[in-house]
Amino acid sequence: MIPKTPPFAWTAKAYIAIASVLLAVVFGLGVALSPSRTPTVAVIGDRADEVRTALGIAQSDDATVTIVLLNRWDSLRHLPDIAELCWDACHFGAAAQIALTQMRFSKTRKVVVFHLPDFENDLACVVERARFEAQALRAAFPACKTNAARLAVWILPMGLGRIS
């Protein structure tokens, strides 16, 4: 005969529930107690000086938002860290504007790649879109050049993959 489990006994389900609650509390405390970061912006690539002056920002070495301007997709080979981050979205030219958000605990980084020929070299539109992207992680879509698509790619922490 199999002995019956008493109703007060701990089960694996209870242990998993307690561990999940503890992890959620630790994560919540980490987010709540982490210092706020003021967003810093770096603009690199073709015609970067013009866009930087139009945005009215100073170049930052440790930027939370990096704006990359390309005249050709092939230019990514000169930026290997961004090419690796962008992966197939940039290599196939999936959209005129690709917003890559690399989620890391208290160090989230955003890289926005603009393919200038898709904007017909309209720097005013590129500057407007870059300003929207620099303001928030989930940027709104401005009204200029609505035919130039925006692709958002979220890169999950710890190598868990990508969501696009």
**Tens digit of pLDDT per residue, the chain (164 long)?**
677 766 666 677 888 889 889 888 887 777 677 666 667 888 888 888 888 888 888 887 788 888 899 888 888 888 888 888 887 777 777 788 888 888 777 677 888 888 888 888 788 888 888 888 887 666 666 667 666 677 777 777 766 777 76
Rounded to whole angstroms, the Cα distance separating 66 from 86 reads 13
* φ and ψ at residue 138, rounded to 5 degrees: -110, 90
Rounded to whole angstroms, the Cα distance separating 67 from 51 reads 9
DSSP-based three-state secondary structure for 126: helix
Output Rg (C-alpha) for the chain, integer angstroms.
22
Sheet holding 109-115: strands in order across?
Answer: 41-45, 65-70, 109-115, 97-102, 150-155, 162-163
User: What are the structural domain ranges in the chain?
Assistant: 41-163
pLDDT in the model for residue 10: 67
Nearest to 113 by CA among 160, 157, 65, 161: 65
